[in-house]
Amino acid sequence: MSADYLPVLDPVENSIGQVKLTVRDPNTPATTALMIQPSPYWGNEPIWTSKNNVHNPMLDEKGRVWFTSAVRPPDNPDYCKAGSDLPSAKLYPLARSGRQLAMYDPRSGKITHISTCYGTHHLMFAEDANRTLWTSGGGQVVGWLNTKMFEETGDEVKSQGWTALIMDTNGNGKRDEYVEPDQPVDPTKDKRFGAAFYSVAPAPDGSIWGSVLGFPGAIVRLNPGAHPPETALAEVYEPPLDNPKAPVHGFSPRGMDIDRDGVAWAALASGHLASFDRRKCKGPLNGPTATGQHCPEGWTLYTEPLPQLKGVTDSGSAEGSYYTWVDQFDTFGLGRNTPIDTGNASEGLLALKDGKFVVLRVPYPTGYYTKWLDGRIDDAQAGWKGKGLWSTVSTRAPFHMETGKGTTSKVIKFQLRPDPLAK
């Protein structure tokens, strides 16, 4: 990214002590923002210096880091827009994207920028021959990068694709012309689901799952088909809410993941860890009635181990977990397919084992607030010492923690001894 595109903050104090921060960008007119109240600790000093909006990182099999990052201004190049020859652009042209992709190779020290038409937020590799990197954060589309093609050709244009979320509401098993989200179902057409993936999780069977924020929110299963984007179809499943067929109600998924059996796990804002097993659905998975609340039997909700909010009698708790991650390969020691919530009000991780929660709490005084975790097996022959979970203190403002200005984030490693005296 050219330095010409980096915003510059010019603090100017006026006569009443307010500070205007002028943002300078050669491509747009200058704008101003008003700092109404200076910090009680650092005054008018702008200490937040982030410029390229990096978000979720992910390691590949070569130890390189792929991450979501702004690599250019938000207006898209012509190959993303109407009139382009790109298959994805023909079906759903995109005018802007706020964050794209980048890859860092620690051996060479090189960062490679990848200008995607679609926006990005979270990312995860699929288990296919193309090492496809799927992303969330695309607004009305889900995007992907064929990393095998990109590394062989260097062609960032032909290596990318995206698709709108089209539900097979006419039930014929293929993608057809569709009506828009605000239009009624047409028995001869499909229907576009007008929402975005927040998290993204490729499943072993080739399907791609994602969570949708909001109330009641949803999780979506995207089947790319043989020739995406032309063949991609979506199934939408809402958490059971005011549904008489469901014994427990919940709402608003945030981060989610998938296990090796294709079961989706998601943290709900209602204070539950939820699982959704598509194999339990009794009715049609597609067709005119498959619009969200059609499979309550697929959901199981586990109340997270905190008290409920005062005056609330519904199931759930006061927990506010940000993300769910599934330990598919037993990198921690509680077993394969163990779902783990980030206990953001618990200052720990909440692992579900045999229907009960195991709380991995990070003790006071430094505090612990994580948004993500991952597992790693360094030495499969070394028992519990050779594997563990890794996470970070993920607050955007670590300088507001008790250790104050200059505080950076922390990396936390969890390991599970088979017994307290194990060496």
- Of the candidates 98, 102, 116, 99, which has an alpha carbon nearest to the alpha carbon of residue 65? 102
- Is the pLDDT reported for residue 16 higher than 70? no
Which pLDDT does position 48 carry in this prediction? 67
Please check whether residue 152 lies inside any domain of the structure.
yes
Q: Is the dihedral of CA 331, 151, 204, 207 positive or negative?
A: positive
Out of 341, 356, 371, a domain closes at: 371
My answer on whether 109 and 24 are in the same domain is no
The answer to whether residue 70 is domain-embedded is yes
**Residue 148 sits in the same domain as residue 60:** yes
Sequence-ordered list of residues with C-beta below 8 angstroms from that of 146, at least 6 positions apart, any chain: 130, 131, 132, 159, 160, 161
Same domain as 44, residue 75: no
Residues 255 and 335 in one domain: yes
Select from 20, 36, 51 the last residue of a domain: 51
Measured CA to CA, the distance from residue 244 to residue 265 in angstroms comes to 22
- Verify that 129 and 243 share a domain, yes or no: yes
Is there a single domain that holds both residue 149 and residue 221? yes
Within-domain flag for 111? yes
20 shares its domain with 79? no
From residue 125, how far is each of 97, 110, 150, 194 by CA, in Å?
A: 21, 21, 14, 24
Q: What is the DSSP string of 45-66?
A: -------S----EEE-TTS-EE
Query: Does residue 399 fall inside a structural domain?
Result: no
Does residue 423 fall inside a structural domain? no
CATH number at residue 278: 2.130.10
12, 103: one domain: no
Distance CA 318, CA 346 (A): 10
Same domain, 11 and 128: no
Q: Is residue 382 part of a domain?
A: no
Range 354-382 average pLDDT: 91
Angstrom distances, CA of residue 358 to CA of 331, 347, 353, 361: 16, 13, 7, 9
Reading the block at residue 416, the tokens are 């599970």
Q: Which of 327, 351, 371 is the last residue of a domain?
A: 371
Q: Is the pLDDT of residue 365 over 80?
A: no
Q: Report the percent of the chain where pLDDT is more than 90.
A: 77
Claim to verify: residue 42 and residue 103 sit in the same structural domain: no
Q: For the segment 232-290, what is each residue's pLDDT rounded down to a tens digit?
A: 999 999 999 988 888 889 999 999 999 999 999 999 999 999 999 999 999 999 999 99
Number of structural domains, the chain? 2
Answer whether residue 191 is part of any domain. yes
- 45 with 140, same domain: the answer is no
pTM, whole model, 2 decimals?
0.88
Q: What is the mean pLDDT of residues 115-137?
A: 97
Q: What domain range includes position 163? A: 54-371
In a domain, 13, yes or no: yes
d(CA 97, CA 75): 7
The predicted-structure confidence for 127-137, as pLDDT tens digits, reads as follows 999 999 999 99
Confidence of residue 18 (pLDDT cuts 50, 70, 90): very low
Whether residues 34 and 65 share a domain: the answer is no
Q: What is the C-alpha to C-alpha distance for residues 326 and 372, in angstroms, rounded to an integer?
A: 11
pLDDT level of residue 35 (50, 70, 90 thresholds): low
